Amino acid sequence: MAEIINLNRHRKARARAQKPATAALNRAAHGISSVERAIARLEDQRAHDALAGKRVDPTAPGPAIPPFGPRKR
C-alpha cells in the first residue's frame, strides 16, 4: 500500500524549504552590502558632526532679539 500523506503539510514544507533561496535572491536584488551601509552611516555621522560644530549655543548671552508684533510708540 502507498503511504498516506497530508498534502497541505507537504505543500507547506516545500514552501519552507524554498524560502532561503528566495530570500538570497531578494537580498542580492534589493539589498545593499554591509560596506555600503557602513559608508552611508559614516557620511551621515560626518554631516551631523559638521553641523553640530556650527550650531549656536542658545544659552550663551548675546544681543537681545526684539519681540515680533506691532511696535509700541
**Is position 28 within any domain?**
yes
- The structural domain count of the chain equals 1
pTM of the predicted protein model:
0.40
The DSSP result for 24-62, as a single string, is HHHHHHH---HHHHHHHHHHHHHHHHHHHHTPPPTTS--
Q: Domain residues for 24?
A: 9-50
Over residues 14-61, the pLDDT tens digits come to: 999 999 999 999 888 888 888 888 898 899 889 888 887 777 776 666
Average pLDDT of the residues in 4-18: 94
pLDDT band at 12, cuts 50/70/90? very high
How would residue 69 be classed by pLDDT, with cut points 50, 70 and 90?
low
Distance from C-alpha of 56 to C-alpha of 1, rounded to nearest angstrom: 84
| Residue 70 belongs to some domain of the structure | no
Residue 60 lies in a domain: no
- Quick one: which of 57, 59, 37, 40 has its CA closest to 48? 40
Rounded to 5 degrees, what angle do the CA atoms 57, 52, 36 make? 165
Higher pLDDT, 46 or 73: 46
